């Protein structure tokens, strides 16, 4: 009887772990959807343009090396860093640019 109970408890724990992983994946996708929606809204996209943008945005790989989806702030930081690098900004000019870029 104890063996049966232990086996059932083990199965229950495994199921809970699987459910938590699925919930975490859904949360990552939800975060990505939120970021893409914010970007589409900033660009005032409507109709087919918005659908096309959302499709490409959701397909983009905006994840970190460990597979986590970037938050909106992290994605903004990544984008602003890329812009600052392409403009070859350094020192105070970079600080000023990053500050204004991150506030947008």
Mean pLDDT of the chain: 76
Average pLDDT over residues 46-67: 74
Residue position matching structure tokens 């996209």: 45
Assess whether pLDDT exceeds 60 at residue 63. no
Provide the strand spans (E) within 1-104. none
Average pLDDT over residues 31-50: 86
Rg (Cα) of the chain, in Å, rounded?
A: 21
Nearest to 79 by CA among 102, 45, 58: 102
Per-residue buried b or exposed e for 56-75, using 16+ beta carbons within 10 Å of the residue's own CB: ebeeeebeeeeeebbeeeeb
In this prediction, residue 79 carries a pLDDT of 86
């Amino acid at each position: 009887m104890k063996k049966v109970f232990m086996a059932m408890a083990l199965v229950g724990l495994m199921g809970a772990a699987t459910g938590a992983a699925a919930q975490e994946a859904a949360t990552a996708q939800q975060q990505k959807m939120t970021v893409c929606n914010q970007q589409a809204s900033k660009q005032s996209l409507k109709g087919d343009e918005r659908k096309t943008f959302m499709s490409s945005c959701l397909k983009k790989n905006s994840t970190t090396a460990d597979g986590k989806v970037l938050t909106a702030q992290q994605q903004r930081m990544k984008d602003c860093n890329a812009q600052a690098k392409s403009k070859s900004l350094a020192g105070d000019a970079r600080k000023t640019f990053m500050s204004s870029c991150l506030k947008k």
